Amino acid sequence: MENLRLKSNIVIQDLSMAIIRNRAREIDWNDRLIGILGARGTGKTTLMLQRLKAEYGFSREAMYITMDDIYFTSNLLSDFALQFRQQGGKILFIDEVHKYPDWAREIKNIYDFYRDLKIVFTGSSIIDISRQNADLSRRAVQYELTGLSFREFLHFSNIANLQAVSLKDLLKSHVEIAHDMITGFKPLQHFADYLKFGYYPFFIENINTYHMRIEKVVRLIIEEDLQFIDGFNPHHSRKVYQLLYILATNVPFKPNISKLAEKTEINRNIIVEYLHYLEGARLVNSLSAAGRSTSILQKPDKIFLENTNLLYALTPENVDKGTLRETFFMSQLKNGGYDVKLPLKGDFFVNDQHTFEIGGKAKPARQLEGIQDSFIAADDMEAGTGNKIPLWLFGMLG
């Protein structure tokens, strides 16, 4: 116990509190059981540790533990929780829960038996708690931490500290919003940097090795995180790499399952399942046609990489400007909690109401003629006019 407490104190000692993401302020920390899920590299551990440091410091009432600690290879989490509580502990911050066997059942039991003990846990975005334990999913309040929006990148880079805007306000008042913002900074000066290295918070540490670290993140997701999915064949890791590379070199990709199965030598049904896992791991975003129901057994109509930084990391020689624009738009909208579908006309259909066409500042509106609530998200312009909205402005949604 004391050795783990020492480790807990060490990790928060030098933790920076300079920038705390908005997501931390959106979490209701009064709940007894909180789950923070997200892809590797998005800052889940930092967010949790900042809460611990800000509210408890080195108090013995709170403690940070990680489930990949060697201690938990031969000790039960439930036994540790009991001991922690008996010594005056009130809140446990548990990292990487998916690396602990039967974690869902044990956390449910801790929650049920020790009503004066709070738990905050982090885990991979591939986790489906309802499939792990339906009772736990009803008890846990879950939040997802995505990568940085363009707005957050500007804040992390000390360029601008701007308030997030809603899609409703953006569509209604984008001209005024853009002009208010560009009085303080030049968005296009920094937009290209964000597309290349601004999504994962660790860009602050070293831009020169940033894409190498993304490659490592991808490798760890495929070689480690996917192994925690029931039914995943660990011998297919190399084939999943191959599948992801095929997608990366062809995005936006319209899946031909038969050809993918032939190239990767993976069964057709398993291919569809693996596409679902890659989306759960936040490596790809899938797009389905408007009006069509979606399930794990259906192939998507279109596939993008989850963020633009992945394009530069995985296929730097194959980065297309049009693909960058569409990938950025979809990433910002989906991470902002908006529903995005594939329309009959245009590029994206958002919240079953708004149709968007993506392009450069000279993009004509003729493709959207006759479509109500239609807009052009245009690159290479600071401020828009009418239904033409600067593409970068959609990075202010989150």
Mean residue pLDDT across the chain: 93
Beta pairing partners, 35? 121, 142
Cα separation of 113 and 94, whole Å?
18
Residues 193-241: tens digit of each pLDDT: 999 999 999 999 999 999 999 999 999 999 998 988 877 888 889 999 9
SS3 for 223? helix
Question: What does the H/E/C string look like for 233-268?
Answer: CHHHHHHHHHHHHHHHCCCCECCCHHHHHHHHCCCH
pLDDT digits (tens, 9 = 90+) for 306-338: 999 999 999 999 899 999 999 999 999 999 999
DSSP state of 342: B
pLDDT in tens, 24-62: 999 999 999 999 999 999 999 999 999 999 999 999 999
Q: Express each pLDDT in 134-158 by its tens digit.
A: 788 899 999 999 999 999 999 999 9
How far is it, in rounded angstroms, from Cα 308 to Cα 338? 18
Lookup: tokens for 327: 């990938």
Pairwise pLDDT comparison (261 vs 169), residue with the higher score: 169
pLDDT tens digits, 185-194: 999 999 999 9
Whole-model pTM above 0.85? yes
CA 289 remoteness from chain centre? 22
Strand segments (E) across the chain: 33-38, 62-66, 91-95, 118-124, 141-145, 284-287, 302-305, 340-341, 348-350, 354-359, 374-378, 388-390
The interaxial angle of helices 268-280 and 237-248, nearest 10 deg, is: 80
* Torsions phi, psi for 391 (to 5 deg): -60, -40
